[in-house]
Structure 1
């Protein structure tokens, strides 16, 4: 059993009244450790530092630790985060270490926010287990462990608690565990953490739920939504992502019918959504990012119950890059060319505008499909370095100098609004985001989900 050497207050099974616990939090008497200083973890550590004045971030990457301790932000694209890191490090509220157990030994609250990877459709909890082991080796009675990482339901009870008990030689009840999911989007992390949405908390026991509620009520300006237990809270986060994946799959499947229907499916969707019980998302060339494409597997793989809807939605969304390439081929044929002889540029390989993230990127998938066919393909992205990908990179301002046969819009970055389309000659355009109808002049355009308002047998307009 490990005992904290310094005298610190705790929230779990504390003799302090709630108001005294809150004061102790704000005064820095309840030290916090945040494990994982990535795109979501570093903003979280900064907010905890602002609130408590006593937060340590732990990350196994020495360069991240060195950057943070120098007051420099290693995460790009998060408004306000560089200033928050500089301020909290300078005033001593935030520091970083590369040894998670050292951070755990000094902390009374432990917040885990490391990624849960999916390999071949199977969730990989190795990183989470390793962090839990490190925390367990430094865990003390009265500590509270909060998991913010998105995980398969039952992970806190079936994985985290047993690991902590084994490593600490403590029993649940001497420490607490709660699941408190991050509800954060890249590019607005600080805003989201500080209270853009209600904060969900669910403990493995009632005291864990209470203690976590006190903690996050100080961190968040929004309401605290306490649920029955940690498994319920885990389900909440996974269900949010699964809902979006299934909904987008519906929109994408409807979009594939635009040609045969001879109508603008996007207009139909938008109009259907004026009915309060309808909320169909927008179609596109695929679903990317580190969340939505992976969360369905947190339910598909670990459990015996069949989930045919979730599997089908994944198949539909995974098929959209190929659908986009097929429509490109048809658009070229409609204009007397073949895709095999064409040169193509893909606009946007980030999975969404303004975010430097390429996991499961539709733009990359489209470029790779074209490359596999031996097609001359290049890509343009104003925020992503393309050196690591098998695609030629072209600077945005140099694009008009190149002679392409086709352009595919995969991600509608703001920077693309000023493209001089008049500089392109005889170019065919496939618009995956319904963003070019007011920009492209004089070029044949195929828009995913938009039917031709003139012809019943064609979905092309110019």
Structure 2
């Protein structure tokens, strides 16, 4: 334990009254280390810094650490974050380092927010989390509390991280606390969410871990803190949220495929069905992307022994949806006497969600890859990212009209596309809208809307 940590009373196992411990927490008497300063980690570190005034952020990227220590912010498109980081660094409430072991020695509270990866064969890879846990263990002291915010396969804290921390630190189970406290944030609103956008879930490895973590997060959030039975329950809460959305989106995407056979507006049917209080079907779209929902099913499918055929089928449906979009386009082109192979197709949007510079698992990119594999000449336009690694030629949104396009697919509904000069797009071009945002009257042409039809 460092001299700094020695001056701090234990946070786990404290015999101080709760009110006194809360005041000490707010006064910065419990040094905090936040491990991982990415797009979720930095906002989390900022909020801990706002409340405690005593946070050290840890990251393996020296450029990230240097930027933060200079008062800069490497995470873009997060309202308020750059100003918050600059103010916290200026006040001495937030510093950054690459030395995770020293940060662990200096801290009483350890917050882990690094990614759980997926291998090429879709198995959960917890190596980043366990690597951080080993570093924490080298600096772990009796009375410390470890809070895991990274999404994990259920039972990871109980079966992997708890034993690892005990073994590597040489401490007994009741010497330190371990709690799973999952982040529940969305890109583009991270600070808002961390400060209290959603109730905070807390589950400890024992009752004292739950108590200590609940106390800390009640000071951090303006929302409710919900203690659950244990770490595995808390892990399941976060994973189940993602599973629900993946399955629900798969249902919507499958229902959208009935549009032509039933000759109805499936989106209308979904909207009206949802007026019944026990029905909440999502909207169909081009598929599922991002760093969460497409991956969480594998935290169950390829981690637990119990079969989960519904989750597997939902993944298959959502993974196949970009190909279905291309199939729709092929049918529309065929109706115009054109073949998909050799056609020029403009894909509007590459990121998985509007306003977010994130392309991981983006269905828009799968659409581009499928079009390319089917022989189309692909152009892609996105105001936030370029075409690196995508089989397409990047086009500025203002220059889309310069392409002699046979078809246009709106895959991501960025605001910038609202100003698109549709008058310059060839009148013969087939237009497919996967997000139901294009107004036929405004753009002056027919549009095929996924789930709504022509």
Partners of 2:353 and 2:412 within 8 A in 1: yes
* C-alpha displacement of 1:336: 1.8
* C-alpha displacement of 1:187: 0.2
Q: Distance in 2 between the 1:184 and 1:342 partners?
A: 40
Secondary structure (helix, strand or coil) at the match of 2:431 reads strand
1:268 aligns with 269
**TM-score for the superposition, normalised by structure 1:** 0.96
* C-alpha displacement of 1:402: 1.7
Query: Is 1:334 the counterpart of 2:335 in the alignment?
Result: yes
Secondary structure (helix, strand or coil) at the match of 1:173 reads helix
* C-alpha displacement of 1:444: 3.8
* C-alpha displacement of 1:167: 1.1
Q: Distance in 2 between the 1:5 and 1:352 partners?
A: 42
Partners of 1:203 and 1:209 within 8 A in 2: yes
1:222 aligns with 223
1:433 aligns with 435
1:211 aligns with 212
Q: Distance in 1 between the 2:284 and 2:339 partners?
A: 26
2:27 aligns with 27
1:445 aligns with 447
Partners of 1:112 and 1:148 within 8 A in 2: yes
Secondary structure (helix, strand or coil) at the match of 1:33 reads strand
* C-alpha displacement of 1:338: 1.1
Provide, for residues 406-459 of structure 1, a one-character-per-residue CA deviation record: whole Å limited to 9, x for no partner: 0001001111112121221111111111111345644342211113xxxxxxxx
* C-alpha displacement of 1:387: 3.0
* C-alpha displacement of 1:388: 3.8
**TM-score for the superposition, normalised by structure 2:** 0.98
Provide, for residues 101-148 of structure 1, a one-character-per-residue CA deviation record: whole Å limited to 9, x for no partner: 111000000000001111121000000000000000000000000000
2:251 aligns with 250
- Pair 1:342–1:306, CA change in 2 (3 A): same
Any residues of structure 2 matched to 1:110-259 within 5 Å, and which? Answer: 110-119=110-119, 120-259=121-260
Partners of 1:43 and 1:190 within 8 A in 2: yes
* C-alpha displacement of 1:385: 2.6
2:382 aligns with 381
Matched residue count: 452
Partners of 1:104 and 1:134 within 8 A in 2: yes
Secondary structure (helix, strand or coil) at the match of 1:177 reads strand
1:17 aligns with 17
Provide the alpha-carbon RMSD of the alignment.
1.3
Q: Distance in 2 between the 1:3 and 1:172 partners?
A: 24
* C-alpha displacement of 1:201: 0.2
- Pair 1:337–1:5, CA change in 2 (3 A): closer
Secondary structure (helix, strand or coil) at the match of 1:306 reads coil
Q: Which moved more, 1:88-97 or 1:334-343?
A: 334-343
* C-alpha displacement of 1:3: 9.1
Q: Where do 5+ consecutive residues of structure 2 fail to align?
A: none
2:107 aligns with 107
Q: Distance in 2 between the 1:86 and 1:343 partners?
A: 46
Secondary structure (helix, strand or coil) at the match of 1:131 reads helix
Secondary structure (helix, strand or coil) at the match of 1:338 reads coil
* C-alpha displacement of 1:386: 2.2
Partners of 2:101 and 2:135 within 8 A in 1: yes
Q: Distance in 1 between the 2:304 and 2:197 partners?
A: 32
* C-alpha displacement of 1:374: 2.7
2:72 aligns with 72
* C-alpha displacement of 1:100: 0.9
Q: Which moved more, 1:415-424 or 1:140-149?
A: 415-424
Partners of 1:430 and 1:446 within 8 A in 2: yes
Q: Distance in 2 between the 1:259 and 1:440 partners?
A: 25
Secondary structure (helix, strand or coil) at the match of 2:175 reads coil
Q: Which runs of 4+ in 1 moved over 6 A?
A: 1-4
Q: Distance in 2 between the 1:117 and 1:270 partners?
A: 36
Provide, for residues 295-347 of structure 1, a one-character-per-residue CA deviation record: whole Å limited to 9, x for no partner: 01111111110100000000000000000000010111112211112100100
